[in-house]
Structure 1
């Protein structure tokens, strides 16, 4: 590794940026995080707080890098929970393990490459619970569960987890600065502005940058490859005892408890190239309709329905060709890009951040000349 006191500026404070900041700071680097939005903020521009979120891989065997990232994250989260259990003094990350059910309303076409890497994986027959009960209460012609599996998965209280990452980075010496950079003026100007912000707070000149700006990279880097994937969700009272995801013929549905919050996220949608932050009441109705079949125990309202806390939309940072995690030199400045993880930001986060640290190490070992290293 190059000098451990090299200064790294991380741009972006979502799960990708903060996890990278934690690992860089704990590796001995001087780290500054600069972001327009930080944990506790609520903005359609700030994707991470809107996530479900739980370990449910979106990776396919034709993307072995993403598969590996997801496995690394699963193993890391399970180990983190074990460490929290052994040491009550450790700060709680907001993670919890649940039985996670995956249902298909058609013969499964997914390749379950991940089955050997998760705990307690098993296939469910139609006479097993909860498949039997769900199918029995499903109206005729509405589509029954044809295939199902269950395994142990981790759900994330996203608000708590982002704060946990931020505080862990700070404990390792990182400084978090809330500031909006001039992204419309191009990447080189934004890097200079970021360095100026850091130096105004007494930090040294940057030796390397990490671009973890998510959808912001569309403006920052001028990449047409970036696009939003809008997801609409409903937060309801009551903390579900299990996770489920269901793939229907023309819909997707899921239920993700937020550990320790007394609430559950119901979803959801994947709308490519939709930027609107305004929820669609018809979508809300459909989300609740599907949830009623799959998780009726949460219907605790006085009217027999769900007690809705809020309805919201988030924009996942999609990118043609998958996530960009690579190094580059821009205007003589070293930079490692880490964005475009689409709906896989949380489950990619550990593996992606470890690669980011390795690329920072490699970048600092090279002279900053030329374009892409």
Structure 2
């Protein structure tokens, strides 16, 4: 009689071999079986499946406010009475992207020499990353938060790994911030790579940046300049190498972090590591001083405007419309002021950037305009 362990091992090896060979033969855009991973980084852009855009396919529209500072995010210390506060907020459209990186900067700034437990204000992507780094350094942590996922600003984010709209590109960045920005981007980029697991909702994704006119800056400049080395195989595609109607196409590989999966998983990690969660809004500096922890990481995002008097902090309104999921669509596009990310919870269409607006109501005209432009984009795709 065959040994049961040998039998099971042979069955598993055969199944793995069949699955692997099936994946290797699957063309771009082929349907995916249950439990099978999508082909996120195809060898060619030809044959990309288009997004089916129509008002009838909408499943929800949401509005969120990005915490933007023209000079960039703030990682700095401040004494509030006898309490040391380390600020970590103001990430604009790069909150999820830079959360691990700026949290590493904040932890390195606040933890050396500290004795005792630590508090974190906020439970969005930045607050949760900060809490985990504090725990990894060996400290007990308590998170004080006004709301828990899915009621945080981070839940409204698209989640593409790219530090977009983090600072005003027309402003001259200080050398200090430039170094912080590059360090945060690099640490976050490496950290997310070791978290590409279905548990966290993180995967690699190919991006296509489209234009009808020549690029204003080379690949080494503009928004790509400071993080050029973090965009592997970035290149310009020639006519015949892509299915888009636009003449100018840039391609690069990055990651996408799906907030509905990632944030609960991070919250679970904090709890497993012994972290405490207190649902409580901190409304004044007096309340900050009254907390038992004497080292506090401020990750309150827009809340820091009122709580700590940051007058530079301003909201940037963003509206996103989700369509019925299309599992065969695994890429992202950026065209003029609109973008598309394909996630497991839906195909996300966005493109609004309204600085100074606190309005959280849905704008029907904005949604209609985005749907129209995206329908034209994907309706114009052709085979190459």
CA shift in 2, pair 1:228/1:2, >3 Å: closer
d(CA) in 1 for partners of 2:231, 2:262: 21
CA shift in 2, pair 1:121/1:284, >3 Å: same
d(CA) in 2 for partners of 1:30, 1:223: 28
Which residue is equivalent to 2:376? 293
- 1:179 equivalent to 2:289? Answer no
d(CA) in 2 for partners of 1:224, 1:3: 31
Which residue is equivalent to 1:308? none
CA offset at residue 235 of structure 1?
A: 1.0
CA contact (8 A) 1:218 1:224 kept: yes
Match of 2:234 among 111, 117, 121: 121
SS at match of 2:361: coil
Match of 1:211 among 289, 298, 317: 298
Deviates more, 1:13-22 or 1:68-77: 68-77
- 1:65 equivalent to 2:180? Answer yes
- TM-score, normalised to structure 2, is 0.61
Which residue is equivalent to 1:284? 367
d(CA) in 1 for partners of 2:253, 2:150: 29
Aligned residues: 254
CA shift in 2, pair 1:166/1:296, >3 Å: farther
SS at match of 1:120: coil
d(CA) in 2 for partners of 1:124, 1:160: 33
CA contact (8 A) 1:7 1:30 kept: yes
CA shift in 2, pair 1:148/1:64, >3 Å: farther
CA shift in 2, pair 1:213/1:108, >3 Å: same
CA offset at residue 2 of structure 1?
A: 5.0
Runs of 4+ in 1 over 4 A off after TM superposition: 1-5, 59-62
Match of 1:241 among 320, 325, 330: 330
CA shift in 2, pair 1:297/1:94, >3 Å: farther
CA offset at residue 30 of structure 1?
A: 0.8
- TM-score, normalised to structure 1, is 0.63
Larger radius of gyration: 2
SS at match of 2:278: strand
Which residue is equivalent to 1:104? 211
Which residue is equivalent to 2:264? 163
- 1:272 equivalent to 2:355? Answer yes
CA offset at residue 295 of structure 1?
A: 3.6
Match of 2:251 among 129, 132, 150: 150
CA shift in 2, pair 1:171/1:3, >3 Å: farther
SS at match of 2:367: helix
Return 5+ residue gaps in structure 1 as ranges: 85-90, 136-144, 196-204, 299-373
CA shift in 2, pair 1:124/1:156, >3 Å: same
Q: Deviations over 1:191-236 (max 9, x none)?
A: 035x1xxxxxxxxx31300111100011101221111000011011
- 1:257 equivalent to 2:342? Answer yes
CA offset at residue 36 of structure 1?
A: 0.5
Q: Residues 44-63 of structure 1 correspond to what in structure 2 (within 5 A)? A: 46-58=152-164, 62=173, 63=178
d(CA) in 2 for partners of 1:170, 1:5: 21
Match of 1:76 among 172, 177, 191: 191
SS at match of 1:244: strand
